[in-house]
Structure 1
Amino acid sequence: MKATETYKTIKTGLFQTETLFLYCYIAHNGLKYETTGATLDICRKSRDRWLSHLSTSFTGHRQVIDYKQTSERVKDAIRYCYKSGARFFYAGGAVGFDTIAAEAVLSLKAELSDIVLIVVVPFPDQDKYFNTENKNRYLNILKQADEVVTISKDFSNIAYLKRNDYMISHSCQLIAYWDEKSLGGTSYTVRKAREKKLTIYNLFKK
């Protein structure tokens, strides 16, 4: 199901000269959010705050020590977040932990029918240099995702960071796989999540 928004305007105020937006958003899983505002932008920002309280993002290394065990731990973390109200899950689409996380969400759809997978890619053809197996898995994830958000039209290193910023700004929780030593995209995302006071679950097993 594709998320949709509808709105209409009415005149209000003493002299009926002010415009009020009556806004309705229906998410991918059928959840409905309604609000009113003086502008459409105000309504959408209110919607985004509502969505962020129902959303969890993933970040992690491309190299995963124990693939099968990590996959099971991700599923358990998703179930835990679901019990606390999370319904929308954001994954970045990179190889390694991102792939595990996205596939875990998809595998749990039969069990948790109203969870939503949103894949946030930095730019088109992110998979250009993936090997055949990873490319096929990536394309399969994109095909099954409820929504795919593309941050930039062209390749750039900053697009990766903007991708991570987007996910953090749309979530209240972060499921991470970070060794607490390595620098890079995962470290950056965890730091940003801490700055924004997101709840962080680090699944890296030392």
Structure 2
Amino acid sequence: MKEKESYIEKQKGIFGDTTWFTYRYEVNGMVYETSAGSLDICRKARDKWMKMMSVAFTGHRTIRTNKYALSVSLNEEVRFCYENGIRFFYIGCAVGFDMMAAHTILEQRKQYPDMVLVAVVPYVGQDVYFNKEDKQRYADILRQADKVVVLSEYYYAQCYAHRNDYMISHACRLIAYWDGKSAGGTSYTFNKAQKKKLVIHNLF
């Protein structure tokens, strides 16, 4: 992901005692500009702008329905998001639905090169218990992602929940694959997204 942040700091007011920032942020050819009395306010406004163009994914590690039908629905939903202004796609790098979503985005990025795949890793070594095939898929996803966010150097009890919180906090939409009854990370993320009033599309 090609990011560039720049700003001009000026003193304003009759006595030149007021600081004013003119801010510009560029990412993958998209440009956001604003101005405010502090750099922190400018960056918070930028984050809000990016959030309105972002979607997160959550789903079961075992695909329990027809994989081909799910793949078709997932492709349609990703394309719909893109056509409606979504550019940032957050995935949690787990096996199952997460990896299917990541590969869908990578395929569609060939047609829409301004798609941004953000891989959110809960801790270094997330793939330690993956089988050989999933380890390779995981490595390929991280290698091809536009941005990799690693939240912790080590595993800890709530690391997956915090990974899901991070994605929800950065998105305005959620694409889910949840059976509506199972407990666990997918249920947690789905319910958290509802409380945060994200737009949710469940593909189960």
What is the TM-score of this pair, normalised by structure 2?
Answer: 0.96
1:172 equivalent in structure 2: 172
Partner AA of 2:123 in structure 1: F
Instruction: Find the aligned partners of 1:23 and 1:135 in 2 and give their Cα distance.
Output: 41
* Equivalent residues in 2 for 1:28-107, closer than 5 Å: 29-65=28-64, 66-107=66-107
Give yes or no for the alignment of 1:184 onto 2:178: no
Instruction: Find the aligned partners of 2:4 and 2:92 in 1 and give their Cα distance.
Output: 23
Instruction: Find the aligned partners of 1:60 and 1:157 in 2 and give their Cα distance.
Output: 20
Residue 69 of structure 1: how far off its partner (Å): 2.5
Deviations 1:157-199 (A, max 9, x none): 3111111111111111100000000011100101111011111
1:131 equivalent in structure 2: 131
Partner AA of 1:24 in structure 2: R
2:194 equivalent in structure 1: 194
Residue 17 of structure 1: how far off its partner (Å): 1.3
Instruction: Find the aligned partners of 1:167 and 1:203 in 2 and give their Cα distance.
Output: 18
Residue 8 of structure 1: how far off its partner (Å): 2.4
Give structure 1 stretches of 5+ with no counterpart: none
Deviations 1:74-128 (A, max 9, x none): 1111011112111110000000000000110001012222111001111111111
Instruction: Find the aligned partners of 2:177 and 2:74 in 1 and give their Cα distance.
Output: 9
What is the TM-score of this pair, normalised by structure 1?
Answer: 0.95
* Residues matched between the structures, number: 203
SS of residue in 2 equivalent to 1:134: helix
Q: Pairwise CA RMSD of aligned residues?
A: 1.1
SS of residue in 2 equivalent to 1:175: strand
Following TM superposition, the consecutive aligned residue runs of length 4 or more in structure 1 with deviations greater than 4 angstroms are none
Instruction: Find the aligned partners of 1:150 and 1:22 in 2 and give their Cα distance.
Output: 31
Partner AA of 1:46 in structure 2: A
Percent of matched pairs sharing the same residue: 51
SS of residue in 2 equivalent to 1:179: coil
Residue 141 of structure 1: how far off its partner (Å): 0.4
